[in-house]
Amino acid sequence: MVPLSVLDLAPILEGGDAAGAMRRSLDLARHAERLGYRRFWLAEHHGMTGIASAATSVLIGHVAQGTSTIRVGAGGVMLPNHSPLVIAEQYGTLEALYPGRIDLGVGRAAGTDPKTARALRLTEAAIDAFPRDVAQLLDWFDATDDDPRRVRAVPGEGAGVPVWVLGSSLFGAQLAAHLGLPYAFASHFAPAALEAATQIYRDRFRPSDRLDAPYVMLGVNVFAADSADEARRLATSLEQAVLALRSGSPGRLKPPRDDLELSPRDRALIAGFMECTFVGDGDTVREQLAAFAERTGADELIVASQIFDHDARVKSYELIAPAAPPQT
């Protein structure tokens, strides 16, 4: 089985708050570290009442401080929302504090709605500059001199922070291949372009000083429990979240329901979103993950589990943990 990692959306629960979400993120990271997961990534979203990781670098520092060996990173930073210099300084600082444990995944999307994007001062020019900005980050992180003529990223220069390109379409695949960077595809919510994106990335990959050969990490949703029925019940929290998101009214993560009634249209919408979702008892899900990795040729899987009850979420990761090899 390929290595497994954790994608935590720091869910704010219905009836809960952001502080509780952050405490649960740290607790989950500690369990993931103990269970042998390779990475623990947090994602940048803005204006989302159900996600507590808007200040992604701050929360990464919180998690890294409370763990000792697991890699912690951004999955990812939406680079057009920021000055590349600020991101280089932030992640250079994290690397200085927690050497050898920080990852930086970067994406081109806004990670929010149009109104909030305007509040972030996001522009079309910033989106178009994404390839140039990624190259600038690499230049800072790989710097080997102190040329006073160029802009300095301190901390950050020469930090060697691993940079990943994230994507849910073909654009990120092409950029990651061109720059010779590892590629993480968001198949946990955008499965339609999975095969085309990974094929383009592998076909066009150009080796770099950072990476000799293509490396693909795929996102999956997992709901594992002692019984298939309980796992299916836990998955109704994500189903409710998908419907709320598609209706334009995303909110806090709702508890699972035994009586969730879905129209044929709702079922089709959920099925499309959750194509890369695995639900069942631990043995069944481990088999599903192994088959998915073999079919796609994934080098690594990153697991999201939008489970309302924290103990059940930890249990889900525990049940599939034997599929993860020990950390090296």
Alpha carbon distance 183, 174 (integer Å): 10
Domain residues of the chain, as ranges?
Answer: 4-323
Q: Which pTM does this prediction carry?
A: 0.94
pLDDT tens digits for 52-87?
999 999 999 999 999 999 999 999 899 999 999 999
Structural contact between residues 153 and 184, judged by C-beta atoms closer than 8 angstroms = no
Which pLDDT score is estimated for 327?
46
Which pLDDT score is estimated for 75?
95
pLDDT tens digits for 211-250?
999 999 999 999 999 999 999 999 999 999 999 988 888 8
Token pair for 313: 């979420």
Please enumerate in sequence order all residues whose Cβ is within 8 A of that of 284, keeping only pairs 6 or more positions apart, or say none. 228
Which pLDDT score is estimated for 1?
81
Alpha carbon distance 244, 326 (integer Å): 38
**Nearest of 305, 309, 284, 310 to residue 226 by alpha carbon:** 284
Amino acid at 324: A
Alpha carbon distance 110, 185 (integer Å): 16
pLDDT tens digits for 280-289?
999 999 999 9
Alpha carbon distance 106, 83 (integer Å): 13
Amino acid at 81: N
Low-confidence ranges of the chain (pLDDT < 70): 149, 322-328
- What residues are paired with 6 via a beta bridge? 40, 303
4-323 domain in CATH 2.40.40.20?
no
Alpha carbon distance 66, 59 (integer Å): 11
Structural contact between residues 79 and 48, judged by C-beta atoms closer than 8 angstroms = no
Which pLDDT score is estimated for 328?
41
Alpha carbon distance 16, 47 (integer Å): 17
Token pair for 227: 């019984």
Alpha carbon distance 76, 55 (integer Å): 11
Q: What is the DSSP-derived secondary structure letter of residue 68? A: S
